[in-house]
Amino acid sequence: MKRLFDLFAALVGLVLLAPLMLVIAIRVRRSSAGPAVFAQDRVGRHERVFRCYKFRTMFVAAPNAGSHEVAASWVTPLGAKLRRYKLDELPQLWNVARGEMSLVGPRPCMPTQAEVIEARRKAGVFAIRPGITGVAQLAGIDMSSPESLAQADRRYMETRSFFGDLSIIIATVTGSGRGDAVRN
């Protein structure tokens, strides 16, 4: 049922939000050099690497780093607004439609984040699809705390439900949590 809901919601979201996504893409392109959409390798279900899509929020010359390692000076002014309202995540609906991600689940890490991968491996977190949002993000646990992150993700796995996922989605859309905030 979770996969059917994810697929339905992603396809409806992609159609209904297409005008907003087009406006964001145009604004990103006009606000700084580089593409509107940023693609980055992430680790998904069963530790398979996939390309995760987001609106670009950083300058092109910024290093490829996890959000908690990102300096605020690397983020564009428009990017800061997109991150604040989580609009940079909208292209991930494509990842959900493709079956690489879920709407709710552990946030996908990069293949270079060895400590996060090891902690999640031990906790069995890679048994489920990563999500656009999740309990750790709402709780403010980022990837700089691999063990805490893996345990929060594990608790989600053990208690997940359709209505629980809906409450996480609603909390995310209404602005709860901070997830992987940039460092100052």
Provide the domain limits for residue 128.
2-173
Within a domain: 133: yes
* φ/ψ of residue 33, rounded to 5: -65, 145
Whole-prediction pTM value? 0.91
Rounded Cα gap, residues 28 and 30, in angstroms: 5
Residue 24 lies in a domain: yes
pLDDT in tens, 89-105: 999 999 999 999 999 99
Tally of helices (H runs) and strands (E runs) in the chain: 8, 4
Average pLDDT estimate for 2-11: 96
Query: In this structure, is residue 147 part of a structural domain?
Result: yes
Neighbours of 172 (CB within 10 A): 21
- For the chain, the C-alpha Rg in angstroms (whole number) is 15
- Total domains in the chain come to 1
Question: Which residues, 6+ apart, have CB-to-CB distance to 133 below 8 Å?
Answer: 86, 89, 103, 104, 107, 168, 169, 172, 177, 179
pLDDT digits (tens, 9 = 90+) for 41-58: 999 999 999 999 999 999
Whether residue 183 is contained in a domain is answered as no
